Amino acid sequence: MSRPRLRVFPPLSPTVYARRGGGALPFPLNDARCRTFALARHGLLRGVERLGLRPGDEVLAPAYHHGSEIEAYVRAGLTPRFYDATDTLEPDPDELDLALGARVRALHLIHYLGFPSDAARWRRWCDERELLLIEDAAQAWLARRDGAAVGSLGDLAIFSLYKSVGVPDGGAVVASAPLPQPLGRRRVAVRRVAKAHRSWLAQRSPALASPRAARAAQERDRLPPGEFALGDPDSPASPLTEAMLPRLLRDDVAGRRRLNYASLLGRLGGLVPPPFAELHPGASPFAFPVAVADKRPLLDALVAAGIRALDLWSIPHPILPVERFPGAARRRQSTVGLPVHQELSRAHLDVIADAVARHLDSVGAR
């Protein structure tokens, strides 16, 4: 039986061209220091250079990471000093203090899955030690904490715009020492826009959904070591991204994501690892995480149900000494990210929750 195809990254409605832009843009797009690259990792690379970090300097970086941010540091000639963090994914100050050395210049703080970390605390911690604070809000654009936009307290902050709305690309960066505008070749990104439109249609029309295509895409999402490539770090965001953003931000994107997250939490809350089992009121959830003993069968079952979940960060950057960080290793082995974006209907959320429940029943995991 054909099913609609659902994915974690938001699709792009063809009605976007009929919408009007207007109103104030959210942080960081409303900040004069903001620059938009094709990808957030480009802004990270150019940002640390702009802040004066030099080859041989060290950055306190989380062992639980995507890998592209670590590659940006390596490309800049910096050395990551990894930390394992706590069960809440906040850094452990004692662990950080033990890792400090004469060459450490910055702390890299990730706002995981759109849940805001306590950046104010780490701002104070960095100030006391004369370190730079780098806020990684690649998954957390539009999130807020204590009245402040996530990313507004860092010396450098990066955001992946396409993870929150259906634009074809876009990595925003804000730095205390403003970056020059990226001057690389501007890609039109027509193919990516067409793909995002097809994803929107496939989400609504079972006839357009292909389990084989979903399975192939799932495999592409599993990055083997060495494929955290940066591409051209001076590539700006595409003109289509810049034109579409004001039209896509008229709705309460973060609020709709929270509502969808809360709905899945009511059905699947027992599978959610900390700190994501309680919905933060300022979160802008990127994905809904579930932790299982063996995630490959779950991923396959979801593909069969038309759901392209994320195999969250199974493979770290090759320079990570994996055996030293058991907390990060456990998360890599167990966590799957389910769709929660604003284009999902209540029926779609039921499809997702039912697919997970059927799989758990089939393997006797409940």
Domains of the chain listed by start with CATH number = 6-14+186-217+251-362 (3.90.1150.10), 18-175 (3.40.640.10)
Torsion (CA) 328, 119, 152, 261 in degrees, nearest 10? 60
Helix (H, G, I), strand (E, B) or coil at 122: helix
Per-residue model confidence as pLDDT tens digits over 16-37: 888 887 778 999 999 999 999 9
Torsion (CA) 253, 259, 263, 265 in degrees, nearest 10? 90
State the average pLDDT over residues 192-210: 75
Q: Which residues contact 354 (CB under 8 A, 6 or more apart)?
A: none
pLDDT on residue 216: 47
Q: Is the dihedral of CA 348, 350, 354, 357 positive or negative?
A: positive
Rg from Cα positions in the chain: 20
Report the distance separating Cα 180 and Cα 318, nearest Å. Answer: 31
Report the distance separating Cα 193 and Cα 39, nearest Å. Answer: 16
Report the distance separating Cα 165 and Cα 142, nearest Å. Answer: 11
- Per the CB < 8 A criterion, the answer to whether 31 and 165 are in contact is no
How many beta carbons lie within 10 A of that of residue 294, not counting itself? Answer: 11
Strands 104-110 and 132-137: parallel
- Per the CB < 8 A criterion, the answer to whether 336 and 290 are in contact is yes
* pLDDT greater than 80 at residue 175: yes
297 against 13, higher pLDDT? 297
Helix axes 295-304, 346-362, angle to 10 degrees: 130
Q: Which residues contact 349 (CB under 8 A, 6 or more apart)?
A: 260, 263, 264
pLDDT band at 366 (very low <50, low <70, confident <90, very high): low
pLDDT band at 125 (very low <50, low <70, confident <90, very high): very high
* pLDDT greater than 80 at residue 209: no
pLDDT on residue 59: 98
State pTM to two decimals: 0.93
pLDDT on residue 305: 94
- Per the CB < 8 A criterion, the answer to whether 45 and 74 are in contact is no
* pLDDT greater than 50 at residue 241: yes
* pLDDT greater than 60 at residue 182: yes
- Please give the mean pLDDT across all residues of the chain: 91
